């Protein structure tokens, strides 16, 4: 029989790529979608990847334990991937309690539903490099202390540690992937990489003259979401549940990332980039650089797409999308 996977956040970037990967491996895939926004939630990412018709959508909500218990009981998944969250750092400052309820307590709810209804399933929690925050070591690994610097990061830290607690207290096969920044053409427009690639595409097509950003000296370890969801799946294929850093091991400033995008379309960054103080975070995370050596040793994971290749792919996708609208 085909293995069954249940994905929260299935309409997001990671959920779409993960659904595509699992379907290619013969899984049956179900995704949880919030009923209150069902009519507004777009499955355009799943459609873009050509898998929308193959994913079973089920109504539920991470803050409603009863719905999660019902879904897990009915679907009987072999693997559960919790990718759902209020995942935009800037919004977490405007909506800290919502972020806590969804991104933190929601993890607890899903683990409890799994414990009660599918104790033999395997669980993946999407932890985040934002948990390192004010970094305590220049290169971050699974043993680096956390110092979260936003309501989002604090909520993710709760989700991370409650996953560890359920694994150790109840013997669940529950792993967390501490994923560093991972992007793609499916990334939301509120994230800086997509803001840059679409902004550059707009300027290249004559639809805009400037790109406004905040702190361009912040450094991030950027990889491609397609590579990172492969790591998620590999974690759940291991005999023992553990936590893993998933990163490229290379850090780049926002400014240098912008230069790659502008260079691809033959534009001078200095003629179009505007620094806007209003876009700075209340508490900035200045440097993130991950050490993925544990994942490489354990299951041979290495990233296959470089930052340059990813940014070019994103710019080209934005150019194509904007041209189709113009046409």
Same domain assignment for residues 162 and 309: no
> Residue 214: inside a domain, yes or no?
yes
Q: Please give the mean pLDDT across all residues of the chain.
A: 94
Note whether 173 and 317 are same-domain residues. no
State the Cα–Cα distance between residues 185 and 188, nearest whole angstrom. 9
Q: Is the pLDDT of residue 2 over 60?
A: yes
> Tokens 């997001």 sit at which residue?
12
Taking the C-alpha atoms of residue 200 and residue 202, their distance in angstroms, rounded to an integer, is 5
Q: Which strands sit side by side in the sheet containing 173-179, from one edge to the other?
A: 55-59, 28-33, 4-8, 79-82, 122-128, 173-179, 244-246
At 90 the pLDDT is 76
**Residues 87 and 211 placed together within one structural domain of the fold:** no
In the chain, % of residues over pLDDT 90: 87
pLDDT recorded at residue 34: 83
pLDDT at position 65 is 98
The H-assigned helical ranges of 54-188 are 65-75, 89-94, 96-99, 106-117, 151-170
Q: What is the mean pLDDT of residues 91-110?
A: 92
Q: Tens digit of pLDDT for each residue in 16-33? A: 999 999 999 999 999 999
Same domain? 31 vs 117: yes
Mean pLDDT for the stretch of residues 126-153: 95
Whether residue 295 lies inside any domain: the answer is no
Number of domains in the chain: 2
Cβ-based neighbours of 122, under 8 Å, separated by 6 or more:
78, 79, 80, 173, 174, 175, 236, 241
Identify whether residues 16 and 115 lie together within a single domain: yes
Separation between Cα atoms, residue 229 and residue 211, nearest integer Å: 30
Spell out the residues 6+ positions from residue 325 whose beta carbon is closer than 8 angstroms to its own: none
Tell whether 230 and 320 lie within a shared domain.
no
My answer on whether 8 and 74 are in the same domain is yes
Q: Is 64 in the same domain as 86?
A: yes
Question: What number is the average pLDDT over the span 193-213?
Answer: 97
CATH number of the structural domain spanning residue 89: 3.40.50.720
My answer on whether 198 and 135 are in the same domain is no
The Cα–Cα gap between 41 and 55 comes to: 14
Task: Say yes or no: 122 and 16 in one domain.
Answer: yes
Q: Is the pLDDT of residue 278 over 90?
A: no
- With contact defined as beta carbons under 8 Å apart, do 251 and 319 qualify? no
Residues 40, 123 share a domain: yes
**What is the pLDDT at residue 38?**
45
The whole domain housing 260 covers: 188-220+250-287+305-326
Residue given tokens 């096969």 in the structure block: 173
- Measured between alpha carbons, how far is 24 from 202 in angstroms, rounded to an integer? 34
In this structure, is residue 272 part of a structural domain? yes
Closest CA to 58 of 6, 3, 14, 104: 6
Whether pLDDT at 282 is above 80: no
Q: How many CA atoms lie within 13 A of 176 on its CB side?
A: 23
Does some domain include residue 26? yes
| Average pLDDT value for residue range 276-298 | 88
Domain membership of residue 204 (yes or no) is yes
pLDDT of residue 37: 47
182 φ, ψ (degrees, to nearest 5): -140, 135
pLDDT at 9: 96
Read off the pTM.
0.93
What whole-number distance in Å separates Cα of residue 175 and Cα of residue 188? 26
Average pLDDT over residues 61-81: 98
Confidence grade of residue 50 (pLDDT, cut at 50, 70, 90)? very high
pLDDT band at residue 294 using 50, 70 and 90 as cut-offs: very high
**Considering the domain boundaries, does residue 97 fall inside one?**
yes
The answer to the question of residue 93 being in a domain is yes
CATH number at residue 309: 3.90.25.10
Q: Is the pLDDT of residue 89 over 80?
A: no
| In a domain? residue 297 | no
What is 184-253 written as a DSSP string? Answer: -TTS-TTSHHHHHHHHHHHHHTTS-S-EEES-TT-EE--EEHHHHHHHHHHHHTSSS---EEE--S--EE
Q: What is the pLDDT of residues 216-229, one digit of tens each?
A: 999 999 999 999 99
Residue 142 shares a structural domain with residue 206: no
């Amino acid at each position: 029989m085909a293995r069954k996977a249940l994905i929260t956040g299935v309409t997001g970037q990671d959920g779409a790529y993960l659904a595509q990967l699992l379907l290619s491996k013969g899984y049956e895939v179900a995704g949880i979608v919030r009923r209150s926004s069902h009519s507004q939630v777009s499955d355009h990412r799943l459609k873009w990847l050509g898998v929308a018709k193959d994913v079973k959508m089920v109504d539920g909500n991470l803050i409603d334990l009863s719905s999660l218990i019902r879904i897990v009981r009915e679907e009987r998944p072999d693997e559960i991937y919790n990718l759902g969250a209020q995942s935009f750092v800037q919004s977490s400052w405007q909506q800290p309690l919502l972020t806590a309820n969804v991104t933190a307590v929601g993890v607890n709810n899903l683990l409890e539903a799994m414990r009660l209804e599918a104790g033999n399933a395997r669980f993946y929690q999407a932890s985040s490099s934002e948990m390192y925050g004010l970094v305590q070591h220049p290169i971050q690994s699974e043993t680096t202390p956390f110092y979260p610097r936003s309501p989002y990061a604090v909520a993710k830290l709760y989700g991370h540690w409650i996953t560890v607690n359920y694994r150790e207290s109840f013997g669940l096969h529950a792993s967390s992937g501490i994923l560093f920044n991972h992007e793609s053409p499916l990334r939301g427009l509120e994230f800086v990489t997509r803001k840059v690639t679409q902004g550059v595409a707009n300027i290249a097509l004559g639809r805009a003259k400037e790109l406004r950003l905040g702190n361009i000296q912040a450094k991030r370890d950027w990889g491609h979401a397609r590579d990172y969801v492969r790591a998620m799946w590999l974690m759940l294929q291991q005999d023992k549940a553990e936590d893993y850093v998933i990163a490229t091991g290379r850090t780049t400033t926002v400014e240098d990332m912008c230069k790659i995008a502008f260079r691809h379309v033959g534009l001078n960054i200095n003629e179009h980039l505007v620094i806007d103080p209003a876009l700075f975070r209340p508490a900035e995370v200045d440097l993130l650089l991950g050490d993925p050596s544990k994942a490489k040793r354990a299951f041979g994971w290495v990233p296959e797409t470089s930052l340059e290749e990813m940014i070019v792919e994103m710019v080209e996708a934005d150019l194509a999308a904007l041209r189709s609208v113009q046409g």
